[in-house]
Amino acid sequence: MTGKKTNNKYVSDHYSRQAKKDDFPARSVYKLKEIQQKLQIIKQGDKVLDLGCAPGSWTKFAGELVGEKGLVIGIDQKAISERFPTHVHIMTGDVIVLAEKDADDLAGLIGEGFHAVLSDMAPSTTGRKEVDAARSYYLCRAALTIAGKILEPGGFFVCKIFQGEDFNEFVNKVAGDFEQHKIFKPQSCRKESKEIYIIGLGKK
């Protein structure tokens, strides 16, 4: 390893190595771990929907938190090679398409009465911050639309967004749909990244 401890590359390497040690397919698991530690969103027996779940770290961690009496459904447009226990189900599909379904069709496809909807979705990036942020916002709106249809009252929403000009508009949307909201940047996020998490607590 090269670089000082304060060098962000070093920190990134630390989380990637730790993920390998802890047997998670991606370093992103530590972002959800920090959110969970702070807000205890997911409980034993919960039903959780994880949007943009590949390669499967959040899904695996959520599966551990809900236990075998709970249920986790992970959806991604990419196939996933990770193996999960039987209370964790993976579907391959486009969340944008799913968001266009009405509540009954969604319930038929993925179920209803979820306690938490998570979205760690990220668009393919172009390097142009405003384009990437606009694409991210589009995914966030789809995630919030789905949450509006399948989350039970009191439920939770965790959503990654790339900060850009639509950020405040999205925060206002979440604030309108939930009793409380929080904006949180986990320490395990790469410092140079514009990503941040908006968390809705208590669906109205």
Q: Which residues belong to the active site?
A: 160
Beta strands in 32-184 (DSSP E): 47-51, 71-76, 88-92, 114-119, 151-162, 178-184
Distance from C-alpha of 113 to C-alpha of 86, rounded to nearest angstrom:
19
Is position 188 an interface residue for ligand SAM (rule: CB under 6 A)?
no
Please count the residues of this chain forming the interface with ligand SAM, following the rule CB under 6 A: 22
Question: Closest CB to ligand SAM among 52 and 70?
Answer: 52
Stretch that binds ligand SAM, among 121-129, 146-154, 161-169, 173-181 (CB under 6 A): 121-129
Distance from C-alpha of 105 to C-alpha of 120, rounded to nearest angstrom:
23
DSSP, collapsed to helix, strand or coil, labels residue 67 as: coil
Among 19, 29, 106, 199, binds ligand SAM (CB under 6 A): 29
Is position 78 an interface residue for ligand SAM (rule: CB under 6 A)?
yes
Distance from C-alpha of 132 to C-alpha of 102, rounded to nearest angstrom:
28
Select the residue whose beta carbon is closest to ligand SAM and give its number: 52
Q: How far is CA 125 from the centre of its chain?
A: 17
Among 11, 39, 96, 134, binds ligand SAM (CB under 6 A): 96
Question: Closest CB to ligand SAM among 91 and 202?
Answer: 91
Closest of 91, 103, 112, 109 to residue 47, by C-alpha: 112
Stretch that binds ligand SAM, among 11-19, 105-113, 119-127, 145-153 (CB under 6 A): 119-127
Residue type, 101: K
Among 41, 42, 48, 53, binds ligand SAM (CB under 6 A): 53
- Give the dihedral sign, CA 101/179/156/171: positive
Is position 139 an interface residue for ligand SAM (rule: CB under 6 A)?
yes
List contacts with ligand SAM (CB under 6 A): 25-26, 28-29, 52-58, 76-78, 94-96, 120-123, 139
